[in-house]
Structures are given as C-alpha cells and as structure tokens.
Amino acid sequence: MKNNPSAAARRDFLKFLAASPYVAAGGGVAAFLADSGFAQDIKQSSFASIMRDRMSVVEKPADALTVFDMEATARTKVQPGHWAYMASGTDDDATLFANRDAYRQVQLRPRRLRDATKVDMQVDLFGTTYASPVFTCPTGGQGSFHADGELGVARATRARNTMQMLSTSSGMALDDVVKAHGRPVWQQLYAPRNWEACVELLKRFQNAGISVIALTVDNTTGRFSETFFRTRPKDLKQCEGCHKNGFEGGRHRPLTDGIDMRGGPRTDPAMDWKFVERVRDYWKGKFMIKGIDTHEDAKLCLDHGLDGILVSNHGGRSTETGRGTLEALPEVVAAVNGRIPVFVDGGVRRGTDVFKALALGATAVGIGRPTLWGLGAFGEAGVNRVLEIMQAELKLVMGNCGTQKVADINRNYVATPHWKS
C-alpha cells in the first residue's frame, strides 16, 4: 500500500494542535475541530475552501440547501465527545475519506431529450414500496445527537416513506420505534457471544414484526479510532451524564434488557459462516449480511442462502481498507448476478451519489452521517429535511440524465475513467 501523505499531514497537524497554547485556551483540540470541521470528509475535497464558505449554520430546517448545512449546524449543538465519535474513522481515516472520494471519481453520462416530467423514484424492497431508494443506516446511540433519537428518525422516515434500519445499539425500545415508523423497521444485528442471547434477540425482532435483519460482520474485532481518541474531551467526567461509569461504561440499550449478554453485547470475534448457517436455519424472515465488500464473500452469501447484501465498511470505521464502498460495489454486484439485491452505504452525501450507486448496481442506498447531522441540528425535523433534500436531488438528476424510473438507471449512465477496472 502506498504511503498516505494526507494521513501523515493529519497526524502532524493534530500534534501541532495539541501543543498549541492558542488551541488550549480555546477549549482544546476537540473544541478546535468542532469549530473548524477538520474531521469532516467534505474538507478532503479539492474544492474545500469553496465548500467551507458555502456551508452555513442555519436557523431552521427549511433554510438548509444541502445536507452539509445540517452538518455545520449540528456541529454547534452536539457535545464535542459525541461529535468526535461520529466524525472519526479508524487508523488514518483513509477509508472514511475513500468512501467520499470514490463518488467524485465516477462521472455521469446523461441522455438528453427525454421526458423529465414523469420521474418516479419508488422502489420495492422485499415486498414493501418506498418513495425512493434512499434509506437511513443503523447508527447507534442516536439520542447522543438529539433527545428525539431513534423515534425522531422513525417519524421522519415515516413522513418521507423511507426505509429505516435500526441499530442493535438503539437507545429507544424497538416496539416504540416500530410504532413511530408506522410499520416494521429493518433490524441490524450485532450478534452476541453466546447463541442463547442471540436467539432471545431474534425472538424480540419476531415479536415486533420485524421481517428483515442485517447481520453486521465488518467489525468483529473492534477498531482503533485514533482521531476520536485524540479529539474527544480529555476530561471524561462530563461523559457520566449519559454513560454509565464514564465513557467506557456505554449507554442503555433497551433491546438487550433482561438478556444475559455475558462477554459483551458486540459481535463475537469467533463468528464464522457456521454461525451464519445457524442464524439462517433459525430466522424465517429475510436475512442480509452487512459488511461484505469482495466477490468471494458475496458468492459465499449465495451459498449460504442469504437474501441480500449490504456493501459497507461501517462508514470507514471498521477495517482500514483504503477502499470506498462504491469501488467495492461492482464486484459484489457481478458476483451475485441479480440473484439477490445488493445495497450500499458509506460516503453518500448527494442525490448524484445515490444515482451513481444505483447505476453501478445497488438496489438501494443508505445514509448514515447525514441522518445524524439532521438529527443533531433539529431532531426529527432535521432528519425530515435531510431526506427531503436527498430525494429532491435524486429526482433532479434522474430527470437530467433521462431516467424515468429507478429500474432504468444502469451502468451506461456512468463512466469510471479513474478506476483500474
């Protein structure tokens, strides 16, 4: 792997900040980054200075022109420690930035003189019709960004007829989220270390009417979140307001109340394909895997009877692959050859990003950080506005490119001259 000069520069810059009396007087590195937005992926763009000027703190959701305005606004409201956790990736943050950069390397090939007045963004996902192929990713602890938490996201997705995928680390009760969403959400699963606990979780999903689960497999051994550790507040006593026993104590997760989670609530590092088979045999609904990014594993998903794949690298927060999910998408799509749907998340910020992912074979496209930006800025209303912006941008690019239906979008509408394959 080639040396990453931007990563070296980032480390040097963080060291400089840590030693600066000016930064210390202003509240430390975390406060500086909160003001400057250094940790955000938009600053990796070659248009960084222009975009920084264009991003603005807004007073109400309707004033936001893009999701980046929600980012700027949320940064002024969310606690520094929570912001640093959300904004950071792993190791040198190379994968976090690669997720975004991949979309910049894909070009559109619009077809002209087609009726753009009949654009229909509706999609059918496992038998349910949604207003668009944009869905909200399962980001845990949404209450860290606004009191509305997962319920606010549920109400916003209901209003926008958007699929919501809920995290096992949700701070709200599953039944309450389902009620607010108006129909069963899709449920992400962090499989616990003992099978009995896993069965209890699956039973709770079934009792709530959940028909689609997504097992996360891309973070089984944890991660080294260097940027987070360097930018979070030095005094973690302030974390005791929302974390048991300080930051390391974690948050309340209603989904696991009353379940023996010995060994910890997160994924078992010994998890393998035999475990997948065990879940497949038990679970009678749709079963996806979240975190696949190679054709080899995609073929194994087919071999083990999976109903779908979510190409994901945890928003650049799992393995430091240095490769964006959009770059991984085509080989996964080719491997499954239409037999099961393929979803993707990571780095999606614009309607054009959604279009590019669809053109490269995605069935639907997830947004993670933009959802949290909207939530942190204005709660439910902010998430609603984020979805409104994303859907409006997608409709615009569909019309401009000459595609009336999502099914019309294919590889012919994009070019990838900067990719090796």
Instruction: List 364's β-bridge partners, or say none.
Output: 343
What amino acid occupies position 207?
Answer: N
C-beta of residue 284 within 8 angstroms of C-beta of residue 256:
no
Catalytic annotation, pick one of 82, 181, 243, 314: 314
Distance, CA of 217 to chain centre: 15
Q: What are phi and psi of 239, to 5 degrees?
A: -75, -15
Distances (CA, A) of 421 to 5, 18, 121, 415, 418: 24, 42, 29, 11, 9
Instruction: List 309's β-bridge partners, or say none.
Output: 289, 342
Which residues touch 75 (CB under 8 Å, ≥6 apart)?
34, 35, 37, 83, 376
Which residues touch 53 (CB under 8 Å, ≥6 apart)?
none
H-helix or E-strand containing 136? strand 134-136
Distance, CA of 280 to chain centre: 25
Annotation says 314 is catalytic: yes
- CA pair distance 307, 190, nearest whole angstrom: 18
User: What's the alpha-carbon Rg for the chain, to the nearest Å?
Assistant: 21
Three-state secondary-structure class, residue 412:
helix
Active-site residue list: 314
